Every structure is written in structure tokens, then in C-alpha cells.
Structure 1
Amino acid sequence: MPEKPAIQADPGRWKALVFIALAQLMVVLDATIVNIALPWAQKDLGISDGNRQWVITAYALAFGGLLLFGGRIADLWGRKRTFITGLIGFAAASALGGAATGEAMMLGARALQGAFGALLAPAALSLLAVTFTDVKERAKAFGIYGAIAGGGGAVGLILGGFLTEYLNWRWTFFVNIPFAIVAAVGAYLVVREPEGGRNRSPLDIPGVILSTLGLVSLVYGFTRVESTSWSDPGVIGLFVASGVLLLAFVLTESRVKHPLLPLRVVADRNRGGVYLSLGLAVIAMFGLFLFLTYYLQVVKGFSPVKTGFAFLPMIVGMITGSTQIGARLMTRVPPRFLMAPGFLTAGVGMLLLTQLEIGTSYAGLILPAQLLLGLGMGTAFMPAMSLATLGVDPRDAGVASAMVNTSQQVGGAIGTALLNTIAASATAAYVADHVAGATTPAAQKLLQFQSMVEGYTTAIWWAVGILALSATIAFVFINTGKPGTGPVAGSGTGADAEDEVKVPVVAH
């Protein structure tokens, strides 16, 4: 496999990392920054309670449904061009959302944000994958990227709380504009894309239609569960439709000459293990963000800003785990010996949170639990992000990167719906068992808080089990050895992925 010395000699690649990471931070924090501002936006724009969820759902559907398409566009059109286009479009959609005068304008802006995010996110990760081809430099670059990808949601909660409380909910949209402009200008000036890495094959239109409709049905199905139930005919219909469409997509991809998603990308044992374990871990993480936010604001009475800052230990843990543990050990040990212990460490942190009570001390329980969660997730996310694009032909780097984002997006939708449903059921059961004893207003308020905490801790137990399963999958499925010291697979332009994946692997 020939090296690309011109790329590795390019001193601008570290500058490029700054702008790629900035764009990724913008996309990730946008998933949570709007949540805190939603009550104020709903009141100002006259959005009904029934349609309120669409401010979140419109973004999730467009983003999750179009990721594979966006990844392949990056491969076909060029990653740098797709990256910059995504940034400009995301900034324009954010400006539209911040200036929204009514419900339709807001929902349209959120859908556009999701669509341009689906262009931007896979292009960012694939640019990183083809820019950093030396194993040691790749470890450092993906350490930074992994910390941002893991901690961006918590950053969104802090920033959203600050902007909403001290400025206006509209600034949770407007804040994206400077992010996007700086990243776009920087990318235009310093990002260099390797020659010969573009996929010139025609676009697989049937694959685009089937994958988009299948993923939209799946994400919407889980989103709708929150406002209905698992037995709702509409929910069941969406899941059935999703299964049929995605099965048809797989059959189509196995037969067409130029597939949207070459099945070799996901059939590889190590990449498949990454997609599955990462998706499961995100289920647990998204559920935690939801429950801890409500617990701190409703039960503990924290303000939006204080709630945001309460997530700082998790961010510190993620940065430490990603850059100080994951990046330092990535070239020394096989990825599974970072990912599996990382998920288990996060599971221990989650286990601590099953002990939540109304009067639980933040410093005594919630802070150390968050540190463990962040440390574990940061350690696991970093090698996962790198391994997900390892050994992929550069012409497929965009769609392989899109699969990482897809697993996280679907995992987030499942986590929010599944764990929220479990918590609601446990809360209702607790109220039914104890309502007879709540005969005074004070007792009824206490029952309300106790039942909420009971629901949260029950769901968190499930999250512990999910993280344990994620660790098991990472350990069993991911069997590649520690990386070598030369260029990683995928730095060339012509070999098949199956051949390339053998280059950096040392048997153990």
C-alpha cells in the first residue's frame, strides 16, 4: 500500500482539525441546545403542546434519514466541498430558526438544519479519516474528535441554559452562525483533500429512497412512542414499514453495481462491532441526559444555567478519557481493550445513579457518577470513531462515516423512547401503590417527586444493562490487534477494503 507523504507532510492538517472539530461541535451541541430553549420558543411562537415535539422530531428525522445519502454525496462530490456546503446551509437554516415568526417557519428551519447536518457530519469524520493516516497522529486527532462527539451534548445543555436565561431562546439558533462561518472559511483555506479519493460511480437512486424512508420510519416510530405507546397501531405500522424498507434496501445493495452503502463496509466484523456497540452506548447516554436534566431542574430546583454547569464533570471526564487515556493507549493496545473497559467504567458510573433519591447530594453521588461516565465514554468513543473508518477505501469513507452517525442517531431515538417509556411506567406504578397515603398537599407533592425518582432509577438500571451489553459486543466482535506504526489502512486509493484492513493489524 503506497503512502501519501504529501498529505502527512502537510503542516496544515492540525489547523484543519480545529475547523473540522468546530463544525462537529456545532452539530452535536445542536441536538441538546434547543431542548432547554423549547418552552420559551413554544410560548413565543404559539406552538401547541401536541406539535411541540416536532421542533425536536423534525431535526431528528431529517438528520437520521439523510445521513447515508449525505455520506455518499461526500464521496461523490468531494468531502471538502460537501463539508463547506453543509456548513453554509446549516448557518442559513439556523438564521431562519432564530428569526422564526411562527410554527411552520420554525419546523421548516429545524428540518433544514437536520438535512444540512446530514451532509456535514459524515463529511467531517471522513475528512478526518483521510487527512490523518499516520497511526500515532490519527490517535491524537481522533482523541480530540471523540471528546467533542461525546461531550458536545453536555456543552449544548450549558450553552442552551446560559443563552436562554440571560439572552433569548433565539440565540440558541443564532449562535450556530459564527461557528459555521469560522469553520467554513477555515476549511476553505486549510483543508486539503487527498487526490484520487473521490467516488466517480453513479448515485444509487433506489438505495437513497429505500434507506431514507426506512430510517425516517424507524426514527419516527421511536419518537412517536413517547407520545403514544408501544402498542399504538401507528407505531407498529412505522416499525413494520421500516423493517420492510430496510430489508429491501439490503437486498438492493447486494445486487446493484454501484451501491449507496457497499455491504462490505458494515459486514466487516470490526466495523460492525463498532456500529452496534456505539449505538447501544448512545441509547444509555441519551436516556441519562433526559433523566438527569429533569431530576436536577424539577426535583432539585436547579436553574437552566446551573443545570448546564452541573454536567461539567461529564465533559471533563470525556476529554480526559479521550485525549489522555484513549489517545495515549490507542497505538499500544487492541481497540477492544479500550472500548470494553470504557463502556464498563461508564456502566459503573450509571450504576451509582441508580441510588438517586430526592435528597441525594450532588457532590457525593452525581458528580463522581458523571466523572466515571465521562471517563468511560471518552475512552471508548475515541478508538470507536477511528476504527469505524479504518480499512475503508477512501472512496467509501463518507458513507462509512455516515454509518457512525446513523448508529448514534438511531441509538439516541431508541434511548429517548425506550427509557422514557420504562421510566413513565415505573412512575405510574409507584403512584398507584402509594397514592392512598398521600392525603395532604405536602404529601402529594412528595409523592410526585418520589415517583419521578423511582421512574428515573428504574430506567437507569436498564441503561446499566445496555452498557454491559455494549461492552460485551465490543469485546467479542472487535478482534483487530493494536495498530502498527505506519500509515493506516485506507490511506491508499485503489485497494479493496478487504485487503486494506490487514495492513495495520498485528496478530495477538
Structure 2
Amino acid sequence: MDIRLSSAAGRWVILTTVLGSSMALLDSTVVNVALPHIGDDLHAQLGALQWIVNAYTVTLAGLILLGGSLGDRYGRRNIFVLGVVWFALGSLLCGLAPNAAVLITARALQGIGGALLTPGSLAIIQASFHPDDRSRGVGIWSGLGGVGAAVGPFIGGWLVDGPGWRWVFLINLPLAAICVPVALRHVPESRDPEHHGRFDVGGAALGAAALALVTYALIGRAWWAGAAGIAVGAVFVLVEKRRADPMLPLTIFSSRQFTTVNLVTLCVYAAFGGFFFLATLQLQVVAGYSALEAGTALLPTTVLMLLFSARSGQLADKIGPRIPLTVGPLLCATGMLLMTRVGQGASYVADVLPALLVQGAGMVTLVAPLTSTVLSSVDTGKAGLASGVNNAAARAAGLIAVAALPLLAGMGPEVYRSAPQFDHAFDKAMPMCAGVLVVGAVVAFLTVRSAAPAAAGAQPVREAECKVNCGVAAPPLEPVGEAAADPADEVAEKRDTPPPAPPAQGRL
């Protein structure tokens, strides 16, 4: 397609992709704020709150690569719309959930919808717009998404303190009601004509099952589940190694730089996942903040990311990724240690804000260079796969952290109902998060090359993309350069085979 951004059709495409991605974005920023209220209303223990977060992440992380492949084969708009509808139905079930078990099940269904719609936003832009307008289109999409990330805590806190926590999920319904008809009427369909139509459903199921079993082992203290999860994970590796067209071609890890940077990703996003899960509880349970106050209290990190991530990426291009990937985690670790000063009667200006500013500075320093290094460590034809793998690794790391940290900190089932007990456990958990970040910094210092040459044709993460995609939840799903790679090339690389020559009429 060659839609121009200035046309009415181009504006409809932007509106559709922003609405769809905003559903998942708002969900990720507001659910943590609602957890204490959900627990009180549904009489849920801490383990249930962990599953409310992790059930979504398990299915999203396990199926997100499969979701992108389905879009290539059956149409990116079709799968995107299916994902939006699925996500909305899951949100409705979340909003109506009579107990924690139903809510957890609904969150898992939401994750399936997220895995279908999330890869589609950027893919639709890349496939629909004229090559000259793609970068600007992503910039507008990213800027509007950044605004959504900034206002998310306000919206979430207001909904929880006002109409109630159920509206954190029900707010997705009007967004979907607008998005679906607009997409069907105004977004052109696109697919990869070279896609063979075979999908690694077994690999996706095994990956999700392994994550679910390990998560269950950590939350439920069921060590048999941990052993089963490790066994299923080993089977997943064997299956992916032997398949002709695996969801995760293991040969991508032949790049030492790619492998080591993903190890850094695991450390960084594990710490982030554990921190943001516990920090919102600490501010409400211990410091006495309302949901709105707790959501907005964490806003400085988002603002710093929006303002300075692109400049951080440019600096890393000049000096290499080694220093940012070493210094950034250490700054984040310092910020998390400073959060131990936040207790009952804590002052926001004197106690909370300094910690968040230091942590935000660390996030600015490391996140954009981390993503750029992942993308530049493989050939350009594998950049989409590399970005997807890195995204899944980040989500899996956060999932394991949310499951493991309360166990390691000695948090009991009712700990979040007692301010002194939760404060004590939080003070034990923050040094653990900081320690994981220090490990990540050491790995980066010892293994990341100071000035790694970009793989042939690789593109750095662009400024507009960093403003929203280089965020807390996970790195971006797809790289965006001056011209998108041919979809047939991307699919061929996912099958780990040489890409075919581009069609005579040029690139999409």
C-alpha cells in the first residue's frame, strides 16, 4: 500500500492503530494501581494479586510471536481486529468478575487478545503507508501513545477512587467499539503472499506452559510445578531445535552480542517488574496514598523517558552501548535502594521523588541503548524476530519477578493488609531488585562491546519510537527504519532461511 499520511485514509489508519495499542497500554499502566482495591473487594490473598498481573503476561509473552505470524498469513487487519474484539471481551469478563478466580481467567484471555493485536499496530503502519511517510507515521503513533502512557496513571487512579476498580477494565469497551468499525472500514488489508501458512502452535503452547508452571511454583510454593516447568522448557528447546520452521529459531542466539544483551534484558526487566508491582502497593498500603496519588506519584519516570530517551539513544550511538548499559542499571539500583526510605508518613518531595528521579535517570540511560543494541546485533532481515524475542524475554522476566519476589521477601498471603509487615517485606525486596540490576550491569560491562558495529542494514531505534516503545513494560516489537523490510524477507528470516529476492515492483 502507498497511503499518504496527509490523506484522510492515513489519518484513519493512525487513529485505528493508536486506539488498539492504547487498550493494552492503559491496561498495563493502571492495573497495578487497582490491586489493593481488587484484593479488598474480592477478599483475595497476595497470591491472587500476583496472578491477576501474571495471568495476562503468561499468555501474552507465550503467544506474541505467534500473533505476528498469524497476521502475516491471514491479514494484519483481520488479526488486529480479532485481537481488539478478544481483548474487549476479556476486559468485559474482568469487569464483571465475581471472584478472583474468574478475574485471573479473564486476564489470561486478555493476554491472548493482546498477543493478537499488539504486533499488528506497527505492522499495519509499515504495510499501509508510503515509504516516505512511514517514519513520520510511527512518530505520530508514538507521540500519541506517549501521551496515553503519561495520562494512564491519572485515568487509572481516578477510575479506582471514583467509579471503582472494575472500570479499569470496562474502559476498554468504548475504545474497542470505536476501533473495530473504523478498522474494518478504513484500514486496508495486508498480508505476506509468500507466507507458507504453517505455525508453530506446539512451540507457543509449550513456551506458555513452561512459564505458567514456573509462575505457579513460585506463587503457590509448589516445587513439583517448578520441576515440571523446567522439564517443559527443555522440551520446548528440543522442539524448536528440530522444527523446520520454529517460532523461535535458536540460531539467532549464535550472535554473542544478541545473547548477552538479552541476559541484560532479563536482569533489567525482572527488577522493573518487581519494583512497579510492589511500589504501587507500598505507596497505598504503607504511605497511605489514594489510588490516584499512587499512580501519579510514579509519573516522573514516564516523563523522563518521554523527554530524554531519544537523546540517550543518540549518545549511545556515539560512545557505544557498553557504558550506558553499565551505568544505567547502577542508577536504577540506587533509585530502588532509595525507595526503602518510603514508609509510613513519608514525604513525597523528600522521600519518593528523589528515588524516582534517580531511577528515571537510570531508565533513560539504559533502555533505548538496550533496544538499539539488540536490533543492531543481528542482520536486518532478522531484526523483527530479534525485537520480538527481546520483547518476550522482557515480559517473561517481569512475570518471574512478580512471582518470585514476594516469596523471597517472606511475604505472607495477607501481608498487604498490614502496613508494618508490608513495609518490612518491601525493605527486603528492594535490595534484591537492586542486586539483580547490579548483576545486569556487570554482565554488560564484561560482555558488551564498547562500539559494536551494526549488522548489515540494521537501523538504530528512531527518536519517535523511543518516546513510547522503549518503556517499562517491554522493548519495541518491531524496528522502524527509513524503509521497512519486505514482509517476505521477514517471514523467511523467521524460518531461518535466506530471504528471497524482493519483488520487481519494489518494497512494500
TM-score range, shorter chain: 0.7 to 0.9
- Structure 1 residues 198 and 376: alpha-carbon distance in aligned structure 2, compared to 1, 3 A threshold: farther
Q: Is contact 2:85–2:180 with CA below 8 Å preserved after alignment?
A: yes
Q: CA deviation at 1:213?
A: 2.0
Match for 2:64 among 62, 67, 73? 67
Q: Is contact 2:34–2:156 with CA below 8 Å preserved after alignment?
A: yes
Cross-structure match for 1:480: 452
Kindly indicate whether residue 168 of structure 2 is the aligned counterpart of residue 172 of structure 1. Answer: yes
Cross-structure match for 1:289: 276
Could you list the runs of 5+ residues in structure 2 that have no partner in the other structure?
A: 461-480, 500-508
Q: Is contact 2:93–2:106 with CA below 8 Å preserved after alignment?
A: yes
Letter in 2 for 1:269: R
Equivalent-residue separation in structure 1 for 2:423 and 2:339 (angstroms): 11
- Structure 1 residues 268 and 401: alpha-carbon distance in aligned structure 2, compared to 1, 3 A threshold: same
Q: CA deviation at 1:85?
A: 1.6
Deviation track 1:416-462 (CA, whole Å, cap 9, x = no partner) reads 23332333379xxxx9xxxxxxxxxxxxx9xx756644432332122
Cross-structure match for 1:470: 440
Match for 2:157 among 153, 158, 161? 161
Query: Sequence identity of aligned pairs in percent?
Result: 30
Q: Name whichever of 74-83 and 165-174 sits farther off.
A: 74-83
Q: CA deviation at 1:90?
A: 0.6
Equivalent-residue separation in structure 2 for 1:83 and 1:199 (angstroms): 17
Counting only pairs closer than 5 Å after superposition, residues 290-309 of structure 1 correspond to structure 2 as 290-309=277-296
Equivalent-residue separation in structure 1 for 2:174 and 2:231 (angstroms): 42
Equivalent-residue separation in structure 1 for 2:359 and 2:430 (angstroms): 13
Cross-structure match for 2:237: 250
Match for 1:424 among 405, 410, 414? 410
Q: CA deviation at 1:203?
A: 1.8
Q: Is contact 1:317–1:370 with CA below 8 Å preserved after alignment?
A: no
Equivalent-residue separation in structure 1 for 2:366 and 2:213 (angstroms): 29
Match for 2:400 among 414, 420, 423? 414
Kindly indicate whether residue 267 of structure 2 is the aligned counterpart of residue 280 of structure 1. Answer: yes
> 2:410 aligns to what SS in structure 1?
helix
Cross-structure match for 1:313: 300
Q: Name whichever of 84-93 and 470-479 sits farther off.
A: 470-479
- Structure 1 residues 298 and 10: alpha-carbon distance in aligned structure 2, compared to 1, 3 A threshold: closer
- Structure 1 residues 18 and 112: alpha-carbon distance in aligned structure 2, compared to 1, 3 A threshold: same
> 1:409 aligns to what SS in structure 2?
helix
Q: CA deviation at 1:94?
A: 1.2
Equivalent-residue separation in structure 2 for 1:135 and 1:329 (angstroms): 26
- Structure 1 residues 290 and 37: alpha-carbon distance in aligned structure 2, compared to 1, 3 A threshold: closer
Q: Is contact 2:62–2:207 with CA below 8 Å preserved after alignment?
A: yes
Counting only pairs closer than 5 Å after superposition, residues 383-462 of structure 1 correspond to structure 2 as 383-385=369-371, 388=374, 391=378, 397=384, 400-424=386-410, 452-462=422-432
- Structure 1 residues 146 and 11: alpha-carbon distance in aligned structure 2, compared to 1, 3 A threshold: closer
Match for 1:348 among 313, 325, 334? 334
- Structure 1 residues 492 and 53: alpha-carbon distance in aligned structure 2, compared to 1, 3 A threshold: closer
Equivalent-residue separation in structure 1 for 2:144 and 2:116 (angstroms): 21
Q: Is contact 2:68–2:119 with CA below 8 Å preserved after alignment?
A: yes
Q: Is contact 2:4–2:129 with CA below 8 Å preserved after alignment?
A: no
Q: Is contact 1:80–1:193 with CA below 8 Å preserved after alignment?
A: yes
Q: Name whichever of 82-91 and 68-77 sits farther off.
A: 68-77
Q: CA deviation at 1:97?
A: 2.4
Q: Name whichever of 48-57 and 261-270 sits farther off.
A: 48-57
Cross-structure match for 1:494: 489
Q: CA deviation at 1:367?
A: 0.8
Equivalent-residue separation in structure 2 for 1:63 and 1:220 (angstroms): 16
Q: CA deviation at 1:164?
A: 1.5
Letter in 1 for 2:489: G
Cross-structure match for 1:365: 351
Kindly indicate whether residue 221 of structure 2 is the aligned counterpart of residue 221 of structure 1. Answer: no
- Structure 1 residues 345 and 127: alpha-carbon distance in aligned structure 2, compared to 1, 3 A threshold: farther
Deviation track 1:266-306 (CA, whole Å, cap 9, x = no partner) reads 44334434433223212111222233223322322111211
Letter in 2 for 1:480: A
- Structure 1 residues 18 and 340: alpha-carbon distance in aligned structure 2, compared to 1, 3 A threshold: farther
Cross-structure match for 2:502: none
Cross-structure match for 1:76: 73
Q: Is contact 2:76–2:190 with CA below 8 Å preserved after alignment?
A: no
Letter in 2 for 1:418: A
Deviation track 1:362-408 (CA, whole Å, cap 9, x = no partner) reads 212321221232233244333444555565676983x5454233222
Letter in 2 for 1:85: L
Aligned residues between the structures: 465
Letter in 1 for 2:291: P
Kindly indicate whether residue 202 of structure 2 is the aligned counterpart of residue 206 of structure 1. Answer: yes
CA RMSD of aligned residues (A): 4.4
Letter in 1 for 2:294: T
Equivalent-residue separation in structure 1 for 2:174 and 2:144 (angstroms): 21
Equivalent-residue separation in structure 2 for 1:53 and 1:262 (angstroms): 31
> 1:212 aligns to what SS in structure 2?
helix
> 2:409 aligns to what SS in structure 1?
helix
TM-score of the superposed pair, with normalisation by structure 1: 0.74
Letter in 1 for 2:409: A
Q: Is contact 2:76–2:191 with CA below 8 Å preserved after alignment?
A: no
Q: CA deviation at 1:92?
A: 2.1
Q: Is contact 1:143–1:382 with CA below 8 Å preserved after alignment?
A: no
Letter in 2 for 1:408: A
Q: Is contact 1:75–1:395 with CA below 8 Å preserved after alignment?
A: no
Equivalent-residue separation in structure 1 for 2:41 and 2:336 (angstroms): 37
Counting only pairs closer than 5 Å after superposition, residues 98-109 of structure 1 correspond to structure 2 as 98-101=95-98, 105-109=102-106
Could you list the runs of 5+ residues in structure 1 that have no partner in the other structure?
A: 1-5, 229-233, 432-444, 501-508
Letter in 1 for 2:172: N
Letter in 2 for 1:252: V
- Structure 1 residues 246 and 170: alpha-carbon distance in aligned structure 2, compared to 1, 3 A threshold: same
- Structure 1 residues 41 and 453: alpha-carbon distance in aligned structure 2, compared to 1, 3 A threshold: closer
Match for 1:377 among 363, 380, 398? 363
Cross-structure match for 2:224: 237
Q: CA deviation at 1:131?
A: 7.9
Equivalent-residue separation in structure 1 for 2:5 and 2:260 (angstroms): 33
Equivalent-residue separation in structure 1 for 2:200 and 2:280 (angstroms): 42
Equivalent-residue separation in structure 1 for 2:110 and 2:273 (angstroms): 20
